[in-house]
Amino acid sequence: MSTSATRLAGTVALVTGASSGIGEASARSLAAQGATVALVARRKDRLESVATGIRASGGLALVFPADLTDGGSASLVERVLADTGRLDTLVNAAGIMLVGPALDAPAGEWQRNVDLNVSALLNLTHAALPHLVAAARDGRRGVADLVNISSVAGRQAIGGAAVYSATKAAVTAFSEALRQELAAQHVRVSSVEPGAVTTELTDHIRDGVREQNEAWYAALEALRPEDVADVITYVVTRPRHVAVNELLVRPTDQT
C-alpha cells in the first residue's frame, strides 16, 4: 500500500452491510486508505471473501458476522474493540428497501424496513458513540466520523415507498441532531443520500413490484456502489476542521 493512500492509517472503521453493495465498496475503499476495517453483515462466507480481497490488496480486515436486528449491537462493538483496540469511523450502510403500494403491503414488510433501517442503526450508533468520542479526543487525527447512509427518498418522499421514505427521513433527521450534539467533540456526523444505485436492494422487493422497480432502474445509468464509496471516503478523509454534514448524490439522468 503506497504512502499516498494511507490517510486513515492507524484507524479502525466498522462498516455494516459489508457483504455487498455500498457497504462492501466502502470497506474496500477505506481499507485502501489505510484503515483497519471491521466487516459486519449476516453472511459470513461473503464477509470472508471481501476480507480476503482486502488483504490481498495489502489492507487489513476483520470479519464480524452479525444480524443487526437481534439486539446485540453493544456486544458487537465490544468484540470489535477487543480485537482492534479502538473505533474511529462507523459507516451505517446496512439497509433494506421493501417498497410497493401501501394498500397491499404486508405488514411485515413495513416492520422489516423499520427494524433494519432505523432501529438497528440507532442501536449500533448508541453503542459506538462513546468510543468515537474517545477516538476523537485521543487519536492522532483528532477527529472521528459517523456516516449514515440515508437516501434521496428521505429528502423527497416517494409514493409507493412510504415506509422506506419514512425510515430514511428518520436517518437524515437523526444524523443532523447528532451532528449538533457532537460537533464540539470533533465527532463528525454525515448523512449520505444516494439516488438509484445498482445493489441487491431490489432483489428483496416482492413480486409484481420488483419488476416495475427494475424497469425504472434499467432506464437510468444508475450509480455503482463504488461511486457512493468514493463519496464516503471523501467525507472521512477531510482535515479535522472540515465536516461534510449532508451529501446528496444522484445519477446524472435521475430527475
Q: Among 62, 164, 182, 228, which one carries the catalytic annotation?
A: 164
In this structure, are residues 191 and 175 in contact, taking their beta carbons and an 8 Å threshold?
A: yes
Phi then psi dihedrals of residue 213, to 5 deg:
-65, -40
How far from 75 is each of 27, 128, 150, CA to CA, in Å? 21, 11, 25
d(CA 41, CA 55): 18
Q: Which helix (H) or strand (E) holds 36?
A: strand 36-41
How far from 37 is each of 17, 51, 131, 177, 222, CA to CA, in Å? 12, 9, 15, 26, 27
Q: How many CB atoms lie within 10 A of CB 9?
A: 15
What DSSP character marks residue 2?
A: -
- Is there a catalytic annotation at residue 164? yes
Beta-strand relationship, 12-16 and 89-92 = parallel
Handedness of CA 136, 137, 140, 142 (dihedral sign): positive
d(CA 75, CA 40): 13
Buried b (16+ CB within 10 A) or exposed e, 32-48: bbbbbbbbbbeeeebbe
The residues that are catalytic are: 164
